[in-house]
């Protein structure tokens, strides 16, 4: 990637935010470099996986099974819909497995206030990580102030929690993916993420490589959408992902092929 072009993108976004009256503390150069250090061990694929069940039909029994599997295999987290956060947090209490939930899911087109209230409710119910969907339409029309403010508001509503921001890359051009990554970092999130699994497309190696180039070595990149086997998961990790979102977590660690799109 052309470093000069990348810096120009960050500067253009910064100036657009300034014209909207938004000031942010991060130097422009840091918008294309990492902020956090992530220790990774590619030999332990389970440690990368957010064990996920976001089906609208998910039962309490299925959530219980999901949590039990996460404890058994020592996944990074379980990712569930907001209505199941309290149950998951109770079942995982005292363990290293985190409780993750989704915000503005799956469209990202709700108001910022609704996302903030979802985030606060998730925190109150015991969530430790949040995966929010970006305002995709605002990004596509270059309304950088709206994208930034949306992410920043959720960040402020959940200080101290890991915040992952879903770009829904299946809708975006490569340039828009770059712009989204820059905005995610500017707004103070911890990860940039590919897909919801409910939109078009899936996690692609070239997108993970691009996202890693933009955010630098010390920022989170989560690959999600269509990852159903160990070979694909390991390829994503090699390309730069340090978290994998998958409903096929057990199949992945067992070297089998799972089902489902997420």
- Residue 97 DSSP code: P
Contacts 24+ apart (CB under 8 A), 140-148: 140/171, 140/172, 140/176, 142/16, 142/179, 144/13, 144/16, 144/17, 144/20, 144/179, 144/183, 145/16, 145/17, 145/20, 145/22, 147/180, 147/183, 148/17, 148/22, 148/24, 148/183, 148/186, 148/187
Annotation says 131 is catalytic: yes
How far apart CA 170 and CA 179 sit, in angstroms, is: 15
Q: Which of 98, 115, 164, 222 is catalytic?
A: 222
How far apart CA 199 and CA 151 sit, in angstroms, is: 20
Helix (H, G, I), strand (E, B) or coil at 123: helix
Ramachandran bin of 110, using left for φ above 0, alpha for ψ from -120 to 50, beta for the remaining angles: beta
Structure token pair of residue 27? 């130097």
Q: Which of 131, 150, 190, 207 is catalytic?
A: 131
On whether the CB atoms of residues 208 and 238 are closer than 8 A, the answer is no
How far apart CA 215 and CA 249 sit, in angstroms, is: 26
Q: Which of 98, 115, 164, 193 is catalytic?
A: 193
Crossing angle of the two packed helices 144-157 and 112-124, in degrees rounded to 10: 20
- Cα–chain-centroid distance for residue 78? 13
List active site positions: 131, 193, 222
């Amino acid at each position: 990637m052309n470093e000069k072009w990348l810096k120009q993108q960050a500067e253009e976004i910064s100036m657009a935010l300034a014209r909207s009256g938004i000031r942010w503390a991060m130097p422009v150069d840091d918008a294309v470099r990492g902020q956090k250090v992530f220790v990774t061990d590619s030999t332990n694929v389970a440690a990368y996986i957010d064990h996920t069940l976001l089906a609208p039909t998910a039962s309490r029994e299925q959530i219980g099974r999901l949590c039990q599997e996460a404890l058994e295999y020592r996944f990074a987290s379980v990712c569930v819909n907001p209505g199941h956060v309290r149950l998951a947090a109770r079942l995982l209490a005292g363990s290293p497995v985190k409780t993750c939930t989704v915000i503005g899911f799956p469209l990202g087109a709700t108001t910022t206030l609704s996302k903030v209230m979802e985030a606060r409710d998730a925190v109150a119910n015991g969530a430790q990580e949040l995966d929010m969907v970006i305002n995709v339409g605002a990004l596509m029309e270059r309304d950088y102030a709206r994208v930034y403010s949306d992410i920043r508001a959720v960040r402020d509503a959940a200080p101290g929690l890991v915040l992952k921001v879903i770009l829904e890359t299946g809708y975006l051009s490569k340039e828009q993916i770059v712009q989204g990554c820059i905005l995610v970092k500017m707004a103070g999130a911890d990860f940039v993420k590919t897909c919801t699994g409910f939109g078009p497309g899936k996690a692609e190696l070239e997108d993970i490589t691009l996202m890693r180039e933009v955010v630098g070595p010390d920022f989170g990149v989560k690959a999600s959408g269509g990852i159903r086997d160990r070979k694909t998961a390991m390829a994503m990790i090699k390309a730069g992902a340090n978290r994998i979102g998958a409903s096929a977590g057990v199949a992945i660690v067992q070297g089998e092929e799972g089902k489902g799109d997420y």
